[in-house]
A = this chain, B = another copy of it.
Amino acid sequence: MEPPTPPRRVTIVDVARHARVSTTAVSKVLRNAYGASPEMRAKVRRAIDELGYRPLAAARGLRGQTYTIGVMLPDIRNPFFPEIVDGITGRLADTDYQVFLGPGGCNDEQTEARITEAMIDRGMDGIILIAPVSARSRLEHIAATVPTVVVGRHGHSPVYDTVTDDDVTGAALVVDHLVGLGHRRIAHIEHHETDPTRIVEMPNAQRADGYRRAMQAHGLADEIDIVSTVYTQQGGHEGARQLLARPQRPTAIFAGADIVAMGVLDALAEAGLSVPDDISVAGYDNTTFASFGPISLTSVDQAGREIGSNAVRLLLERIAERQKTSVQIKLSPTLVARRTTARVSG
């Protein structure tokens, strides 16, 4: 058991004294800055190791960087986000940067504000916002204060970079796949959105749009059937129930997210319908849920890891050059066909 009063922390002054150099010199070595000879570097590094010195990020933050990057997640429960986080940490593993996740409060503007403010107040060097719901002006305000990358939200701004997946194409992949299996009555469950900006920028809206356009492209404009609920399991359950109540039942349901598809499967099981014999189901995100054997959900894969990795790259670039023109990266999704979709029966 250690002494209950923590021993005073080793500071840069201790290192300087131990190495018989100035604190300035130590600081230079730490930051690989100009003005230190190789011998000096070696001497200082030895002292650092001997004393077990680690710079105090809080003190650094007061002057310059904190070597900390904040990631705001809207919802830890969504099994798609870990992929993105993996991509982020993976790319940051061999840098001095450390990532911290801000626990999101499920798509609530106020919680988002609290978290982003907390990140700014803690002097984070850059932040990555994953599928934020806040107003555009709010995002730009954040980006004006600290280097920012927005992930999973379409619509670009001159002050922040974005990384998105092409949701329109993704939705089309699903429709193409289902049409290829002979389906015509393909319904879609979307996340209800009222805010005009979000209708343009949020991925869920883009998916609905992609669905619409793909249906039209296949000459199925009359069959377009969209139910608006929310992107949760309950939302999927509710949406499926509404669709089953239609005079003519759809032969396939395209849920806007895997979690929604979970709710759909649940509702179909309750209704005594079998998948895919009676009805086909597809999701979006290719989460572990989807790949899980007994479920085996057809889904769209977003390459979350690449999304995260790209977000970090852009962020580091922007930290290095604050004023650079903003970049938009759009990645292409792929379809993973599994056992919940099949050739239409009858």
Contact = CB atoms under 8 A, between A and B. Distances in A.
Interface of A: 1-4, 6, 54-59, 61-62, 66, 68, 70, 76-77, 79, 81-82, 85, 89, 98-103, 105, 114-115, 117-118, 121-123, 140-141, 143-146, 157-159, 233, 262, 265-266, 269-270, 288-289, 292-295, 322-323
A6 B145 contact: yes
A193 to B, nearest CB: 24
Say how many copies of this protein the assembly contains.
2
A318 B265 CA distance: 47
A292 B122 contact: no
A233 B56 contact: no
27 contacts: A1-B158, A1-B159, A2-B141, A2-B144, A4-B322, A4-B323, A6-B144, A6-B146, A54-B121, A56-B121, A57-B122, A58-B62, A61-B61, A76-B81, A76-B101, A77-B288, A79-B79, A89-B105, A98-B118, A265-B293, A266-B293, A266-B294, A269-B293, A269-B294, A270-B293, A294-B294, A295-B295
Given A54-B121, A66-B58, A158-B1, A288 B323 contact: no
A275 to B, nearest CB: 9
A85 B73 CA distance: 13
A79 B82 contact: no
Contacts of A103: 85, 89, 99, 101
A159 B6 CA distance: 11
Contact of A61 (B58, B100, B294): B58
Contact of A262 (B4, B66, B115, B292): B292
A280 to B, nearest CB: 15
Contacts of A1: 140, 144, 157-159
A240 to B, nearest CB: 11
Give the 4 A-B CB pairs with smallest separation, nearest first: A2-B144, A58-B61, A266-B293, A101-B101
A57 B105 CA distance: 22
A143 B82 CA distance: 28
A289 B294 CA distance: 12
Contacts of A58: 57-59, 61-62, 66, 121-123
Contact of A54 (B59, B117, B141): B117
A59 B56 contact: no
A337 B262 CA distance: 21
A289 B82 CA distance: 16
A184 B307 CA distance: 49
Contacts of A57: 58, 118, 121-123
A4 B293 contact: no
Given A2-B140, A58-B123, A101-B103, 13 more contacts: A2-B143, A4-B144, A4-B322, A6-B144, A57-B121, A59-B61, A62-B62, A68-B118, A100-B100, A265-B294, A269-B293, A294-B294, A295-B295
